[in-house]
Amino acid sequence: MSVAWIGDRETPFEQAAEKAAALLHASRCPLFTIDADTDGTRAAIGLAKLVGAAYDHPGGASLARETTLFTDQGGMFVTPGEARRRADVLVVVGALPDIHLSFLAELFTSPPDLPAVGQRRVFVIGNVSLPPGTDGLVEMLSCGGEAATLAALRAQCAGRKVATPVQNFDRFAEALAAARFPVFLFSGRASESPAIEMLQGLVSDLNRKSRAAALFLPASESGWGSTLASTWLTGFPMRTGFARGFPEYDPWRFDAARMIADGEADLHLHVSTWPDTAPANNDGIDFVALQHTDGPVAGAQVTIAVGEAGIDHDAVLYSSRTGTFAFKRAPAASSSPPAAAVLRAIAERVPGGAPDLC
């Protein structure tokens, strides 16, 4: 089976890897977008270091909002397991990605493991997609957008007056007064940074006298996993670059979409270990696609097909169900190579390059 293409022409893997390495070597400002398992991320960052590339996640905007919460503010969080066990009031803040809907349904319908607490109370803020059949379980909190609602909620919880009270605040206050562990669920996909910051302010306020926490459900599990791996490997999250030979983190400068749109990047290497389409706008720059694909990717000078993480090969992936990394065993052996192996094969072919520690 062919696994590599130069343009639209099938080619031996070695030749495609050579071509990719030559393009990387010739590039003055290479950019990687990484959507991979942990070992794939390791290998991609190793190659980025070797060729002086910057890297980001393909869904960089959501991930950047989530990362900014940690780099700029911090907060009070809880793991999904502990939320399932102890949360007696749930507040869903903003739309969550569909990947979290099954967990949401599980949370809505399972009782907390607390004495004398039956069903959880559920409130929502913003335009939230709910699991099928759960509409009747939730109560809406609203007085405008998410950030405005959270700000008003925070003010009202603190006993301050507001111009526009939050709809259903009394019911929320009553639930909160009886609650032992309210949990606020959010992701960076829909919620803007001010809303995320205001949410943390509310959680912090509540903890002055009682207990509360936020459950972070990332917009992209693989994106968050790559962020964590990048952080331990370089000290920095995604949107880091090696242009000067050492890692530099700059969430504006190394925004992949901006680098392509502004014509800064002269080569785009996209790694995706899932069925995916590459970012469309690669006009005018070299494009290398390492992707789970059956054929050449449109516009790519080089395409190398890689296995699907956890399906074609064993993989370690971030799981938002456990809030940490989990091992996923592939159901059957596959001839499709892991992205990590392909990336390391390219690194070995970069002229003058040496295998990096990653």
Interacting residues toward other proteins by CB under 8 A:
38-39, 42, 67, 70-79, 81-82, 84-86, 106, 110, 113, 115, 180-181, 207, 210-211, 213, 227-229, 231-237, 246-249, 314, 316, 319, 321-327, 340, 357-358
The residue (of 67 and 142) whose beta carbon lies closer to other proteins is 67
Give the SS3 label for residue 105.
helix
Element (H, E) at 196: helix 193-206
The residue (of 35 and 88) whose beta carbon lies closer to other proteins is 88
Sign for the CA dihedral angle at 194, 131, 80, 226 comes to negative
Please name the residues in contact with 211: beta carbons below 8 A apart, sequence gap of 6 or more: 180, 181, 182
The residue (of 38 and 142) whose beta carbon lies closer to other proteins is 38
Closest CA to 345 of 336, 335, 355: 355
The residue (of 55 and 236) whose beta carbon lies closer to other proteins is 236
Q: How far is the CB of 240 from other proteins (least distance, A)?
A: 9
Q: How far is the CB of 315 from other proteins (least distance, A)?
A: 9
Q: How far is the CB of 194 from other proteins (least distance, A)?
A: 16
Give the SS3 label for residue 237.
coil
Please name the residues in contact with 349: beta carbons below 8 A apart, sequence gap of 6 or more: 17, 18, 20, 21, 22
Q: Token digits for 328?
A: 């996923």
Q: Which amino acid makes up residue 179? A: A
Gap between the Cα atoms of 71 and 66, Å rounded: 9
Q: How far is the CB of 203 from other proteins (least distance, A)?
A: 10
The upper half-sphere exposure of residue 38, i.e. CA atoms within 13 Å in the direction of its Cβ, equals 17
Please name the residues in contact with 246: beta carbons below 8 A apart, sequence gap of 6 or more: none
Give the SS3 label for residue 17.
helix
The residue (of 113 and 174) whose beta carbon lies closer to other proteins is 113
The residue (of 126 and 307) whose beta carbon lies closer to other proteins is 307
The residue (of 154 and 321) whose beta carbon lies closer to other proteins is 321
Q: How far is the CB of 321 from other proteins (least distance, A)?
A: 7
Give the SS3 label for residue 34.
strand
Q: How far is the CB of 91 from other proteins (least distance, A)?
A: 16
Gap between the Cα atoms of 119 and 137, Å rounded: 10
The residue (of 10 and 348) whose beta carbon lies closer to other proteins is 348
Q: How far is the CB of 210 from other proteins (least distance, A)?
A: 6
Q: How far is the CB of 127 from other proteins (least distance, A)?
A: 27
Gap between the Cα atoms of 345 and 13, Å rounded: 10
Give the SS3 label for residue 165.
coil
Give the SS3 label for residue 325.
strand
The residue (of 211 and 258) whose beta carbon lies closer to other proteins is 211
Q: How far is the CB of 136 from other proteins (least distance, A)?
A: 22
Gap between the Cα atoms of 93 and 124, Å rounded: 6
